[in-house]
Amino acid sequence: MANTEIKNQTCYTLLFTGALNQIQVFLCGDKNQRTQVYKFFDDLSQNEINNLISDFAYIDQFFPACSHAKKFKHLADDLWSIKEGQIRIACFWCRKRLIAVYGVKKKDPSWRKQDLDNATRQYRLCKKDSI
């Protein structure tokens, strides 16, 4: 029974550890548990990943009072949004850990209701097992 419980827990993939405030950015999921956001990051180009890493560094630099009208802002409830070009990442804080739960590429600056609902659903699944 213990093995079943372990298999059902959410796995996390470390993407970034900040140099200044040492925040950590995780993806909800790993190679075995391929969540939507894990698959989304897997499909990004190296240039897109590098741009996101610079956003993570910005967040680390200004933690805990980090908010940026165009790059990092409150989305809904406990969800935050990282915006880089056409990339949108929904994430939540768990202490000094920022956990990404959903990702989309889009031109529109606002989140569609369907994407926000999906992000909220993923957040609830990850939050109950958060690290």
Q: Residues 58-113: pLDDT tens digits?
A: 999 988 888 777 789 889 889 999 999 999 999 999 989 999 999 999 887 788 99
CATH number where 93 lies: 3.30.2310.20
Q: Is residue 2 part of a domain?
A: no
Beta bridge partners of 83: 88
- pLDDT at site 65: 81
pLDDT-derived band at 1 (thresholds 50, 70, 90) equals very low
pLDDT tier at 131, thresholds 50, 70, 90 = low
Specify the number of domains making up the chain: 1
8 found inside a domain? no
The label of the residue with tokens 């889009």 reads 106
Residue 20 CA to residue 61 CA, distance in Å, equals 6
Q: Copy the structure tokens of residue 82.
A: 């990282």
